[in-house]
Amino acid sequence: MQTFSNDDWRSASELYAFLGNSLLDPMNRTEAVGLDVEFWIAISRMFNGSLESEATALASWANGHEHESREHVVRDVSVEFTHLFVGPPKPAAAPWESAYGNVESHVGFGAATHEMRGIMRDMGLSLQNESNQYEDHIGIELLIASEMCRRIADGMSCGVACSVVEEIDATPQRSDSNDGDVMDARRFAEYAIEHPLRWIGKMRARVSAEAPDGYFVRMLGLAEAALSWHVRQIEK
């Protein structure tokens, strides 16, 4: 297994938090840093340059809109978000893992929702639920990945409560284990494989069918690439 520094884990935590928040709420309710070409150039250098292709695609998208009114681009991206992940009448690309089971649908809440509730409970996390979303929402799954990375960076167990991650609320407690880093890295990989990586490609395919030139097909591509790279390095 490749060894990551605490700074590596913190950087990963920040990336997954940004991706999670961007997929949980429209841009007009979050941050518009995704419109900045320089931001994506910086992302392209992360993970030993393994995200260059996906980050460059986002930089090209941002560059294509740099002469437009920032306010108008934020509005357009927010409209895209609503069409894809909210509706009406229903989301064009359901953002819940439960919708991508053996029989795909546009409906959330199922076995994956209960699994995610169990993971959050084991980590001492709970939803503030201001967005009224199920626990298996892609944004929440990425926020949990972010929290796992943050805890590893801080030398804390993924199964012990800690901090606040946007929609997720928890209480601090430190692990007594000395071998928690390796254990938690493995747990992060298992979580990524069993949850976001199990269905993010299917979700991205739906998004691509609806908005092939949009912002979110690229964002999902970046999230999938980051998680996949992280897992490969841990499993080496």
The secondary structure element, H or E, covering residue 168 is strand 168-170
pLDDT for 114 equals 93
* Both structure tokens of 181: 């880093």
Taking residues 118-124, what's their average pLDDT? Answer: 91
Q: What angle (nearest 5°) sits at the alpha carbon of residue 147, between those of residues 23 and 60? A: 40
pLDDT tens-digit map of 81-119: 999 999 988 999 999 999 998 756 556 678 899 999 999
pLDDT for 107 equals 63
pLDDT for 104 equals 60
pLDDT for 161 equals 40
pLDDT for 25 equals 93
pLDDT for residue 173 is more than 50: no
| Percentage of the chain modeled with pLDDT above 70 | 84
104 phi, psi to nearest 5 deg: -75, 145
In angstroms, rounded to a whole number, what is the distance separating the alpha carbons of residues 234 and 185?
A: 7
pTM score, two decimals? Answer: 0.89
Is the distance from CB of 30 to CB of 21 less than 8 angstroms? yes
pLDDT tens-digit map of 200-209: 999 999 999 9
> Amino acid identity, residue 167?
E
Which residue ranges form the domains of the chain, and what is each CATH number? Answer: 6-235 (1.10.3480.10)
Nearest residue to 225 via CA among 11, 2, 6, 16: 16
Phi-psi region of 109 (alpha: psi -120 to 50; beta: other; left: phi over 0): left
In angstroms, rounded to a whole number, what is the distance separating the alpha carbons of residues 203 and 218?
A: 12
Across the chain, mean pLDDT equals 87
pLDDT for 176 equals 42
pLDDT for 132 equals 77
**pLDDT confidence of 232, banded at 50, 70, 90?**
very high
